Structure 1
């Protein structure tokens, strides 16, 4: 049986010239998986930086899979397999009214 552990945290700076900046990071770790083929355990690390422009608008830039780890999120089996995402960057804009 496989085990999964997920952790994500963010911290918003509130003073000085970095007021409004948010930094964060996270990880996903999974133990071995067996499904026709055995995959050893792995961990994926992510990092994020963001900025709050106004109380209604903020943006964040997230680097996923920082170390470009190759892994299956669904190992090969009888029907199909699926690789996990490679290193990628995601820009997110959020607005609230």
Structure 2
């Protein structure tokens, strides 16, 4: 069984347990230490970073990472700017 660990309404980790006994042993050891708030069966299509609020799963928003120009591209732009300023 695939189990999601929930902390602050977010799936923070996923673990596969052989059976309920193994899961319950884990819960006794870790949930009592407040390392996680809940350990529940993870439905297909959800994973780490997704939200679990009041028994309802919601996908986390997709964040687009934009990477700026490389050093080589910056050097070309700088050379172009210098050539423009020098009138070349």
Q: Higher strand proportion, which one?
A: 1
TM over 0.5: no
- Which structure would you say has the larger Rg? 2
Using structure 1 for the length normalisation, give the TM-score. Answer: 0.21
Using structure 2 for the length normalisation, give the TM-score. Answer: 0.22
